[in-house]
Amino acid sequence: MLKHYIGDLLTYSGAKAVLSITLFFFQGLTQGAGLVMIIPLLQTLGLPGNGSGGSVSGVTRFISNALIGLGLPVNIYSLLAVYIVIVSLLAVIKRFQAVLTMTIQQGYVHHLRNRVYAALTYAEWSFTLRRKSSDITHVVTTDIQRVGSGTHFFLQLLSETALVLFHIIAALFLSIPLTAATLIFGGVMMLLMKPLNRKAQDTGLAFRSSRKALFGAVMEHLAGMKTAKSCGVEELHIEKMKEINRGIETQVVAFTGLRARTKMYYDIASVMALSVYFGAALTIKAVQVPITELLVLVFIFARLMPQFSSMAQGIQNIRNMLPSFEGVTRLHKDAEAAREGSPQTAGKPLRINVGIDFQHIWFRYSSECKEAALQDATFHIPAYDMTAITGASGAGKSTAADLLLGLLKPEQGRIVVDGAEIHGNDLFAWRRTIGYVPQETFLFHDTVRENMLWAMPSASEEDLWRALDMAAAGDFVRGLPAGLDTMLGDRGITVSGGERQRLALARALLRQPQLLLLDEATSALDSDNEQLIFQALRRLKGKLTILVIAHRPSTLQYADHIIRLDKGRVTNPPHPDGP
């Protein structure tokens, strides 16, 4: 999974990744050069170049020759000038590197979120039905954000690797034996940290499970809050939430302890190693170095040890993130496998001149279901008439509506429009033919205008008012405080149920559909509001095909044809000439 993550990140970032790695290289190079420049500065101030006198060291000689080659005098002022240039260049590189790193990190987060959301949007409706909405929300929000944090640590790890590399190169100029010992020490510590790295990934998996449970609990509790309060069982909700939060707290504390333990091991080992190095450099002739170079060498090693520690913690953070990346990847892969097609290749909305036929349709929601929701359903919906599908609860009415919308696919049988079967990319053109009004009206927390334009972004204000008047909603919208620009509140809370349904009908009519489908759209309305809806529908008869899913007798009286369903079977397939 780590290789998959790195490959995916580098594929996304492309040229930015190359530029970032180049900047890491130059950042390490300038920082290493800045450290080496300290040696001649110290010798200029009077510190001896070696253990027995003041002869010029090899590093100082190299820098002196470089200054002469540039035409600069070899003195404190030239050394300070070069040192200022190097440090300033390092500051500029760090600034660009910080911006580029954040650009890659946030861009990758947006890339993942857009990719997953597009895959979810194009996936078959049954794919969404089979999953908890809280699990999908958790992936699109928390999991992807955690991948973003892991990407920050990964890019930081690359930067630290470059710095360590050039620190080691600078140290090699000063003492090969001591530098080799440092590398061996760092390698051994990395190997010793492997069990902790594996534990970091296990902790990340447990943390993700706890967070996913929290998302599910919050969404379910908010949806059921009214029922919980009416039953007086608030304490049950609170106790369940406490239990989930305890799990999250345990995982966060465990991972923090893991990182703290890693840092503690490195800190203790580092100070012991530095003491050994310093003592060896002063007493063992084979590794003795001039005092100025020894000071710089100790300074380099003092910076290397925390870098090793930081790299180890970075690896743990990345491993801790990998379960979230795996969850994002799995959801995207599954959604892509359930992709319906591409609406960009869809043609223009279809026309219905003759009618729609269900031909021997069989459908069950899963293979475990003993009885099919629709069983050999065959019926005809004539064009330009009003047809009603009725039956008891569970008869298969809404299933028939979802099949007609192309949200579900029949196991057997065909759905044909004017003799042509609807399948493949035809589904997108077919849906553009339909105006759909569900039982539960969905309105955004926005204005009337924006809620209408959601269905047809290119509609003019004249189009909006025409659709509102057709749906018997024009008068009440004109009476709102700001007319079309009145805020409707969360789920349209500021208007009544009947007004919400009329707005939903107007939004469907704004699309100028060939087929208007109302799925139990008036079942929760009082008789007055139902009358207003059907008065609007009577004015539309003969202009488009209307299909009403209903069970109330008051609704059926307006239908030209009635299809009765009983346990998934059609009991009276209508004839085109009448009910």
Q: Which pLDDT does position 269 carry in this prediction?
A: 75
Give the mean model confidence (pLDDT) for residues 274-300.
Answer: 65
The Cα–Cα gap between 447 and 417 comes to 36
The Cα–Cα gap between 184 and 178 comes to 10
> For residue range 495-526, what is the model confidence (pLDDT) as tens digits?
787 788 888 888 888 988 899 998 876 666 67
> For residue range 368-425, what is the model confidence (pLDDT) as tens digits?
777 888 999 999 999 999 999 998 888 888 899 999 988 888 889 999 998 888 876 6
Give the mean model confidence (pLDDT) for residues 529-533.
Answer: 74
The answer to whether residue 332 scores a pLDDT higher than 90 is yes
Q: Which pLDDT does position 282 carry in this prediction?
A: 63
Average pLDDT value for the chain? 80
The Cα–Cα gap between 260 and 253 comes to 10
Look-up: residue for tokens 């057709």? 470
Q: Which pLDDT does position 217 carry in this prediction?
A: 76
Q: Which pLDDT does position 54 carry in this prediction?
A: 38
Q: Is the pTM of this model over 0.75?
A: no
Query: What DSSP letter does each residue of 309-360 carry, written as one string?
Result: HHHHHHHHHHHHHHHHHHHHHHHHHHHHHTB---GGG--SPP--SSEEEEEE
Look-up: residue for tokens 């100790």? 298
> For residue range 125-144, what is the model confidence (pLDDT) as tens digits?
888 888 888 888 888 888 99
Query: What DSSP letter does each residue of 481-497 carry, written as one string?
Result: TTGGG-B--GGGTTS-H
The Cα–Cα gap between 530 and 163 comes to 73
Which residues, other chains included, contact 411 with Cβ-Cβ below 8 Å and sequence gap of 6+?
362, 363, 364, 372
Residue ranges and CATH numbers for the domains of the chain are 2-337 (1.20.1560.10), 355-570 (3.40.50.300)
> For residue range 27-47, what is the model confidence (pLDDT) as tens digits?
777 776 666 666 666 555 554
> For residue range 43-89, what is the model confidence (pLDDT) as tens digits?
555 545 544 433 345 556 666 777 677 777 767 777 777 778 877 88
